[in-house]
Amino acid sequence: MVAGEAALGEAVGADLEVAGRLRGRGARRGMARMLLGNGKAVVGACLLGVFCVLAIIPGVIAPDNPNAEVFKPALPPSLAHLLGTTAYGQDVFSQLIWGARASLIVAFAAGAAATAISVVIGVSAAYLGGLWDGALSLVTDVLLVVPAFPLIVVIAAYTNGANLLMLIVVLVVTGWSFSARQLRSQMLSLKRREFLEAAKSRGERRSYIVIFEALPTMTSLVIACFLSSALYAVLAAAGLQFVGLGDPSSLSWGTMLYWAQNSSALNTGMVLWAVMPGVCVAMLGASFALLNYAFDEIGNPALRPVRIARARGRRRG
């Protein structure tokens, strides 16, 4: 963690130069160009895009009610049922498409909320310093050190896995501390930069400095934090739902895994029912992870792979 924080501090200089370029005239074009040029970003964005489409308009692809138990159970894949049917006679493919919505809602909502909290706490701790920093860092560190999954299980069991909202709350509470530390680190290195001192010397209020001077230079880090929080949320939600602590009566990939496990799907020939939701979780997670790497590379040029144009003349061994 210390090494990461140190590297983060060093990356600040490069990050700030890039931040400037990104917000330049044609900033959208600049950012878009950088993303398009980055293979990871393109793949990740495409994947995410596909899932988003599924979540927004599932009915276009799978028009039938996914929960309707109308079909013959345990059917193998066929043209009518691309992935077969479940033990309860539901179309697996329909379930998969409609289940995307819940998973994505969890990812974006929990990711955004966790990021918002970590920004507020991390940046304030660094900027305010002194006792505030001590107190906020203590809270952050405690939550960081407590093993996350057992904590989630305890909280979720206590709230009885009531509904999606509870799930999101649980994930946010356990997920914000990691990003808060990173943001605090970055803010600490930024504090030394003279443009913040210059803003204070100009007469700006502290709140203005934090929101309008410091945060805009941390955009790529904030986005990267969001992506990693979203990734964490997707995986943790799937895990909780698989164990039965998410609301099993709702439809999502995690609950599909739960029901599949309940019916011993793998042993009774309904392999796709057991495997495909997991594959989707993994792909959604991968899309966030790829985008995360891409934003890390954009934010820290030191991480970028060096692409050397084919040079005329000698290459050294």
Partner 1 sequence: MDDRRVLTVSGLSVDYLTGSGPVRAVDSVDLELEAGEFLGIVGESGSGKSTLLYAIAQLLTPPAEIAAGSVEFLGRDLVQLTRAQLRHSRWRDFSVVMQSAMNALNPVMTLEAQMRDTCEAHTEMRSEEIHARSVEVMRLVGVDPIHLRSYPHQLSGGMRQRAMIAMALLFTPQLVIMDEPTSSLDVVAQRSLMIQVKRLQERLGFAVIFVTHDMSLVGGIADRLAVMYAGKLVEVGPTRDLFSRPLHPYTRGLLEAFPSIQAVRQRLIGIPGSPPDLARLGAGCRFATRCTDAIEVCAATDPPAENIDGRTVRCLRVKGWLGHAEQ
Partner 2 sequence: MPSSDALLSAVGLTKHFGLGPPWARKMLHAVDDVDLEIPKGKIVALVGESGSGKSTIVRLFDMLYRPTAGEVYFEGRPLSKMRSRRAQLAYRRKVRMVFQDPFSVSNPAYRISHSLLRSAKLHRPDLKPSERRSEVEKVLDAVGLTPGGAFIDRFPHELSGGQRQRVGFAEALISRPGLILADEPVSMLDVSIRIGLLNLMGDLRDREGVSILYVTHDIASAWYLADTVAVMYAGRIVEQGPAERVLRQPGHPYSQLLLSAVPDPRVQLSLAEENVGEPPRIIDPDAGCRFRWRCPYAEEQCANATPELAPLSDGHLAACFVSTSVGIPAHSPSTPVTARAADSQASIAGQQDASPN
Rounded Cα distance between 38 and 42, Å, is 6
Least distance (Å) between residue 199 CB and partner 2: 7
Q: Which stretch binds partner 2 (CB under 8 A): 157-165, 194-202, 243-251, 288-296?
A: 194-202
The one of partner 1, partner 2, none whose footprint includes residue 311, by CB under 5 to 8 A per kind, is partner 1
Backbone angles phi, psi at 208, to 5 degrees: -60, -45
The residue within the footprint of partner 2, chosen from 201, 306, 315, 316 (CB under 8 A), is: 201
Toward partner 2, which CB reaches closer, 21 or 40? 21
85 DSSP assignment: B
Token pair, residue 154, equals 């305890």
Q: Are 277 and 254 in contact (CB under 8 A)?
A: yes
Least distance (Å) between residue 207 CB and partner 2: 13
Asked if residue 117 binds partner 2 (CB under 8 A), the reply is no
The one of partner 1, partner 2, none whose footprint includes residue 249, by CB under 5 to 8 A per kind, is none
Toward partner 1, which CB reaches closer, 162 or 302? 302
The residue within the footprint of partner 2, chosen from 8, 11, 19, 294 (CB under 8 A), is: 19
SS in 3 state form for 231-243?
A: HHHHHHHHHHHHH
Enumerate residues 275-314 that contact partner 1 by CB under 8 A: 306, 308-309, 311, 313-314
Least distance (Å) between residue 18 CB and partner 2: 8
55 to 19, 95, 104: CA distances (angstroms)? 32, 12, 7
Which is nearest to 183 in space by CA: 223, 238, 147, 156? 223
Sign of the CA dihedral 205, 206, 210, 214?
positive
Toward partner 1, which CB reaches closer, 29 or 202? 29
Least distance (Å) between residue 222 CB and partner 2: 12
Q: Are 184 and 126 in contact (CB under 8 A)?
A: yes
Q: Taking each helix axis from N to C terminus, what angle separates 219-243 and 92-128, rounded to the nearest 10 degrees?
A: 130
**How many residues belong to the site for partner 1 (CB under 8 A)?**
8
The residue within the footprint of partner 2, chosen from 213, 247, 296, 297 (CB under 8 A), is: 213
Q: How many distinct helices (H) and strands (E) make up the chain? A: 13, 0
Asked if residue 199 binds partner 2 (CB under 8 A), the reply is yes
Toward partner 1, which CB reaches closer, 150 or 317? 317
Asked if residue 2 binds partner 1 (CB under 8 A), the reply is no
Token pair, residue 9, equals 């501090």
Which is nearest to 236 in space by CA: 110, 51, 62? 110
Rounded Cα distance between 238 and 246, Å, is 8
The residue within the footprint of partner 2, chosen from 63, 150, 203, 305 (CB under 8 A), is: 203
**Site residues, partner 1 (CB under 8 A):** 306, 308-309, 311, 313-314, 316-317
**Site residues, partner 2 (CB under 8 A):** 16-17, 19-21, 23-25, 193-195, 197-204, 213, 216-217, 219
